[in-house]
Amino acid sequence: MIELRIQKSEVRFGLFIFCLLFTVYCLLPSCGKKGDPTLKSYEKPDPPSALRAVHRESEIILLWEFPKDKEPAIKGFYLMKSTGGDFEKIATLENNKRSYIDNDFKIGSKYKYKIVSQNLKNVISNDSNIIQIDPETVPPPPGKILFKVEHDSLTLNWESAGDRILYNIYKSNEKGIYRLMPVHKEPIKETSFRDNFAIKGHVYYTIRSLVGSDIRDEGPASGEVEINPLEFVPSSPSGLQAIVKKENVYLSWKESPDTWVVGYKVYREINKQEGFIFIGDTQTPAFLDKDKPSTKRSYRVTALGPSKESLPAEIRNIVFIPYR
């Protein structure tokens, strides 16, 4: 009886050991996936690239590139600077940053910059490209900026800021807010610039003078130029004349020199009490009034801009006089 009990205990113990080993065997693959450290997490992260600098007024603007989809794998960036000796860290930046402004520099001194990334295991990447800059004195802004609109283009003109000075033109749909990059690829050598223009657009321009070095050496912005077509007032039509017939009056005038004029409005006055009354509009510099000119009348014609009318051109005391 005792021997039988011992055998049963051994069987139970054996089953327990088997189940335990089977459970451990099943759990091993998943445990390995979750907790085992991988060599990849200790590899160097990708370094930032295309480090470059722009000297504008009292700022050195540093810019670089890094893949957006690799941001989760890094903590951020270390920006390094050298003033002739070893590189020293001047900024720790978040992983979504792509620019930094350095105000600690002197005109005529030389500086070097580089940037590295740091991954989640605190492993530092290789260096980015190293840039060297030598900031120069920036020129003053250009003055007396004027603009002229012709059809679908706009021309800016301004006064020179000095010999061998170049210019960058900046454009925005918001007052006072401009991108770092100008609207053109290369700096402008002349003191004029032509840009595409939509008569329904409301835009702003500003101009900066620059030396034209690798880092621009760009001066302060000029006064802001606002281009608001809703405020354009056309010049008054000229050469208004009337051909009077028994059944109607044919009006004609010279086409407006303002290429953005969208049409003309015609007004007629038959009596002083009612004054001038709007009788029609036209897109060409001519209009036919089909009201019989049996009594004296006067006409006014205005040019119409995107929103506002010009001062009127006027011709008075028009009446049909039959031949006798």
Q: What is the pLDDT of residue 18?
A: 54
Res 34: pLDDT:
46
- Which whole number is the average pLDDT over 30-57? 78
Domain segments of the chain: what residues? 42-133, 143-229, 241-318
| Mean pLDDT for the stretch of residues 220-234 | 95
Strand order in the sheet with 263-269: 277-282, 263-269, 297-304, 313-318
Q: Options 3.40.50.300, 3.10.310.40, 2.60.40.10, 1.20.1730.10; which CATH number does 143-229 get?
A: 2.60.40.10
Distance CA 139, CA 210 (A): 6
Instruction: Round to the nearest angstrom and report the end-to-end CA distance of the chain.
Output: 156
For residues 53-82, give the mean pLDDT: 97
pLDDT of residue 14: 55
| pLDDT of res. 67 | 97
Residue 82 has pLDDT above 90, yes or no: yes
pLDDT at 321: 82
pLDDT at 15: 53
Residue 35: per-residue pLDDT: 47
> Would you state the torsion angle of the CA atoms of residues 297, 303, 306, 308, taken in this order, to the nearest 10 degrees?
-60
Find the range with the poorest average confidence among 71-80, 157-166, 195-204, 283-292: 195-204
Quote the pTM value: 0.77
Which of 36-50, 187-201, 208-222, 250-264 has the lowest average pLDDT?
Answer: 36-50
Fold of the CATH domain 42-133: Immunoglobulin-like (2.60.40)
pLDDT over threshold 60, residue 112: yes
Secondary structure (DSSP) of 273-304: TT--EEEEEESSSEEEE-S---S-EEEEEEEE
pLDDT at residue 27 greater than cutoff 60: no
Confidence of residue 11 (pLDDT cuts 50, 70, 90): very low
Determine the average pLDDT of the residues in 223-251: 95
pLDDT class for 236, splitting at 50, 70, 90?
Answer: very high
At residue 2, φ and ψ (nearest 5 deg) are -65, -40
**CA dist., res. 181 & res. 190, Å (int):** 19
- For residue 54, the model assigns a pLDDT of 98
38 residue type, one letter = T
- Tell me the CATH number for domain 241-318: 2.60.40.10
The amino acid sitting at 154 is L
How confident is residue 30, by pLDDT bands cut at 50, 70 and 90?
very low
Q: Which residues are bridge partners to 117 per DSSP?
A: 77
What is the DSSP pairing of strand 153-159 with strand 143-150? antiparallel
Q: Looking at the predicted structure, is the pLDDT value of residue 174 above 80?
A: yes
Residue where the block lists tokens 């709007």: 278
pLDDT for residue 32: 44
Q: For 261-289, what is each residue's pLDDT tens digit? A: 999 999 999 999 999 999 999 999 999 99
Angstrom distance (rounded) from CA 289 to CA 320: 13
Fold agreement (42-133, 143-229) = yes
Question: For all residues of the chain together, what is the average pLDDT?
Answer: 90
- What value does the mean pLDDT take over residues 19-35? 49
pLDDT band at 168 (very low <50, low <70, confident <90, very high): very high
Three-state secondary structure call for residue 235? coil
| 4 pLDDT higher than 60 | no
Of 118 and 7, the one with more pLDDT = 118
> Does 227 score more than 60 pLDDT?
yes
* Closest to 285 in 3D by CA, of 239, 240, 238, 253: 253
Choose among 108, 57, 51, 55: nearest CA to 80.
Answer: 51
Higher pLDDT, 103 or 23: 103
pLDDT at 28 over 60: no
